[in-house]
Amino acid sequence: MIVFSVFFRTMGLLVLVGLALLALPQSGQAAGQIFWDWPSGRQFSEIELNGLALEPGGALIPGLQAIQAGPESPEVCWRLASDNQGGFFTGTGHGGEIFYTDGQGKTSLFCDLSDAEVFSLLALPDGGLLAGCGPDGHLYRIGSNGLSQLLGKVDGGYIWAMASDDGGQTLYLATGSPAAVYRYTKSEGLQHFVTFSAQNTLDLMLDKDGSLLAATQGPGLVYRIDLADAQNPWLICETDQDEVRQFVRGEAGQLFFLALESSDGAEGGNNPAAPLGSMPPSLMNLFGEQIEPQSDKAALYRLEQDNTFTTWWSGNLDLMIVAWSSQWGWLGGGPRNLETGQASVHRLEPPATNHVIASWQGGDVLDLVVRDSADTYKGVLVGQAHPGGVMILKNQGHGSLSAMSPPLDAGAAVQWGRLSWTADEGPGKLRWSVRGGNRSQPDGSWTDWSDTWSGNDQALALPQTRFMQWRVEMPGPKGNNKWRLTSVSVSAWQDNVAPVIKRFTLENLTDISRGGLITSSENVTQKFASGLRVEFARKSVMGEDPDQVRAASTKPVRVMTWQGKDANNDKIIYKLEYRPQGEETWRPIMDETVEQMGSWDTSQVNDGLYQLRLTASDRLSNPAGLALNSHHEAGVVQVDNTAPVIKGFKVKTIETGLRVVFSATDESSKLGMAFVVLPDGTRQRLDPMDRICDSQKEAFDARVTWPLPGQSAGEQPYRLRVEVWDLSGNMVSAEGEEH
C-alpha cells in the first residue's frame, strides 16, 4: 500500500507540495445577489474623504478639509516653517529651492540654494531664515531679501534639524552620520559640539531648564546635554524603536517624542559604526531604497520631569511626523496609501487608537505645522512628497463635505440593485449619487454621476456595468453638525457564468529519490519538471530493496495540477475522470475536491491508452437549476506498468573477465537503458548490440572486465545482476552465476 504524507487528499492518498502551483486568488463576486457593506465587510478608510473624518468606531463624521496652499511643483517638501508675518517657508528637494507663502496666500520662490535637499528651516525674527541641507552638510543664512550666505559645512553630510535660543544668537544643529551636534555663533562660527554612539541625530530641543535634548537614530536614543559640559551627555532613555525622530510640545507644554521602528538589517540599523552618509531608514524609501520593516510600530512617549518616560500612544500606524493641536489633539502623518493614492492625517488617541481626520489625493506626509493664529492659514499645514506640495487642513465652516467610494468590482457586468445606508442624523440632508463603467478606474467611458437623492434606500438607475462608485455629500459644518454615517450597502444581481479551467497539466516526472521533503525519512520523493515535488510514504516489507522496489512502486501514480477561475467568484469543485481510448463511459479517479491538484494510481488499470477529463462545477454556490460546469480533456495518456522481459540470460567466463548475454523485450514501451551490477556492487551501463537502446526489443552481448584493475577477484563463482528499464520507468532484473 502506498500513502502520501500530508495536505491534499486524493484517492486515499495525501500529497505534500513543495512548490506553490495551486490555488490562486480569484476576483469578482458570487452569482446571484451581491452586497457590499461598510464597515462590516470593508473599511470606510478605503474611501476618498473631502472634509470628512473617521471616528474611532469607524463611522464617517465631519472633519478637516484639505486645501491647496504654498508651492505645487516641488517633488519633495521636506520642511515648513512659520514666520511672524502670517506666512510660511517651504524647504524642498531635489533642487534646494525655498519658497515663501505670505499671509494672503501668494507663493513665490524665496531662494534657490542649488543644493540637493533642504531638510531643516528656522525662521528668524528679522524676516530671514536659516537652512540646513544635505547630502553636503551646508548651513545657510538667508536674508529677508532672499540672498543666501554659506555659514559652514558639517561632517557627515546631513543637517536634519536645528534649535536656537530665544534671541537666535546661538544655533544648534542635529547632524549625521555619525550622530553629532554642531553649534554656531556669529563670533565663533560653526564648531563641533558633541558626538553620540548612534548613526544620526534627528532632532533637538532646548528645554526650559536651559539644557539641550537630542534624539538619535540607529539606535533610538534620547540624550540631555548640559550646555556647559557638552562632552558628558546624559543618556535619558533607549527606546524599543530604532529611530527617535521628533520632539514636540503637547498640552500644557508637556514634552513628547516620536519613535519609529525601522527594518532589521537596514543600513546603519542599531550599528553606531554604520557608513558615513547613511540616511534614516524611514527616509530611504523616499529615495527609492525600498526597505521592508519588521513592523509598522510607532510610539509617542511622554518625557516626565524626573527624566523618566512613559508610553502615551503606540500602534501599527506607519508614521513620519506628529503635531499637537489644541482643537484636534494629537495628529500624525506618514506615507500615502500606494493603492489608492490617498494621503491622510490621523488623530492619535491613547493608548493605541487612531482614526483618519483628513484624507485627500496627495503624497507622503513629511511635516505638520499647527497654525492657531487667526490668519489665512489657520489650521494644519502639511508638507508632502511624491508628489510634493503643501496643503492646509481646516474646518471652513461652510460648503459641503463629501466622501467617495473606491470603484466596486463585480468581476463581470452586473445589474445594479439598490443602495441603502444608516446614520445618526444631523441638520440638513445627505445627498447621494452613483456612476458606473467597465474600466477599473473612472474615465470617459463611465457614465456621468446620477441625479442626487437623499432617501436611505434607493434603486440604482445604472446600466449593466462591472464597476460602480458612490458619492455622498454631507451638509457643511455650520453650528453643531451631528451627522454620523455608520454603514453603506450596495446590492446587485449577476447572471451565473460557468467556471473556466485555465490550465490542466499532467506533471512530467523527472526523478524518484529516497528521502522526504522535510526529514531524511524512509519515504520516497518524486520530482517533476515544473518544480513540483511529491513525497510518498510506504509501509516497509521484509526483504525488499528500499531504493529500487519502494521508488518503483510510486511510479504508477500520475500527478496532475490545474488552475480554475470563476467570474462570479463562486466556489469551484473539481472532478477527475478517465476512460480507455475508444470507449464512451468516463470513470471516476478521485472524489470531488476544491484543491487544484490530484493523483491517479494507474496500477489499478490495464496497460493501454487513456483519456483524462477534469470537470469544474460551481454547484456549491448556486441553486441546482443555475449551476454550471466546464470540462477540459488532457491528451492521450499511455499507461505502462508492465516491466520488460529478459530472456536467455547467461554469464560466461572469458579471458578478459565475463561475458553477459541476454535479450529484452517490452510489449508497450521502448527500452531506455540497461545496467550490470558486478560482484562488488559496481554498476556499469550496458549497451545493446546495435549500440542504441531505442527499440521494444534489444539484444545484449557485452564483455565486462572483471576483476577491475587493482582489485581482488573475490570468491567464485561470480554472481552478476542485470537491470533493464523501459521509457515508462518500469524495471526488470535478472541474476546469474558464471559458468
* pLDDT tens figures, 579-635: 999 899 999 998 899 999 888 888 888 889 999 999 999 888 888 888 899 999 988
Q: What is the pLDDT of residue 321?
A: 96
Fold of 60-394: Methylamine Dehydrogenase; Chain H (2.130.10)
Q: How far apart are CA 691 and CA 700, in angstroms?
A: 9
Three cell numbers, residue 463: 446600466
**Structure-model confidence comparison of residues 84 and 587, the more confident one:** 587
Residue 631 pairs with which residues in a beta bridge? Answer: 615
pLDDT in tens, 401-458: 888 998 998 878 889 999 999 998 888 899 999 999 999 999 999 999 999 999 999 9
pLDDT at 549: 44
DSSP calls for 604-647: GS-SEEEEEEEEEE-GGGS-TTT--EEEEE---EEE--PPPEEE
Task: Report in angstroms the alpha-carbon separations of 464 from 188, 357, 415.
Answer: 75, 35, 5
Amino acid code (one letter) for 610: Y
Pick from 399, 350, 169, 120: nearest CA to 250: 350
Strands (E) located in 304-407: 309-315, 321-325, 329-333, 342-349, 353-361, 364-371, 379-385, 389-394, 401-404
Residue ranges of domains in the chain? 2-28+499-639, 32-53+401-494, 60-394, 645-737
Split at pLDDT 50, 70, 90, the class of 8 is: very low
Residues above pLDDT 70, as percent of the chain:
83
Q: What is the pLDDT of residue 551?
A: 45
Q: What is the DSSP letter of 555?
A: T
pLDDT of residue 273: 36
CATH 2.60.40.650 fits 645-737, yes or no: yes
Torsion angle of the four alpha carbons 223, 229, 232, 238, in this order, in degrees rounded to the nearest 10: -10
Q: Grade residue 305 by pLDDT with cuts at 50, 70 and 90.
A: confident
Kindly report the pTM of this predicted structure: 0.59
pLDDT score of 641 more than 80: yes
Rounded Cα distance, 242 and 263, in Å: 8
pLDDT surpasses 60 at 96: yes
Look at residue 547 in the predicted model and tell me its pLDDT.
46
**pLDDT band, very low/low/confident/very high, at 712 (cuts 50, 70, 90):** confident
- CATH class of segment(s) 2-28+499-639: mainly beta
4 pLDDT above the threshold of 60: no
Which CATH fold topology does 32-53+401-494 show?
Jelly Rolls (2.60.120)
pLDDT of residue 713 exceeding 80, the answer is no
Average of per-residue pLDDT values in the chain: 82
Domains 32-53+401-494 and 645-737 share a fold: no
What CA–CA distances, in Å, run from 266 to 117, 293, 354?
22, 9, 27
pLDDT of residue 637: 87
Give pLDDT tens digits for 530-550: 778 777 665 544 444 444 444
What confidence tens digit (pLDDT) does each residue in 225-283 have? 999 888 899 999 999 899 999 999 998 889 999 999 864 433 333 333 334 345 665 55
Q: How many Å apart are CA 532 and CA 534, to the nearest integer?
A: 7
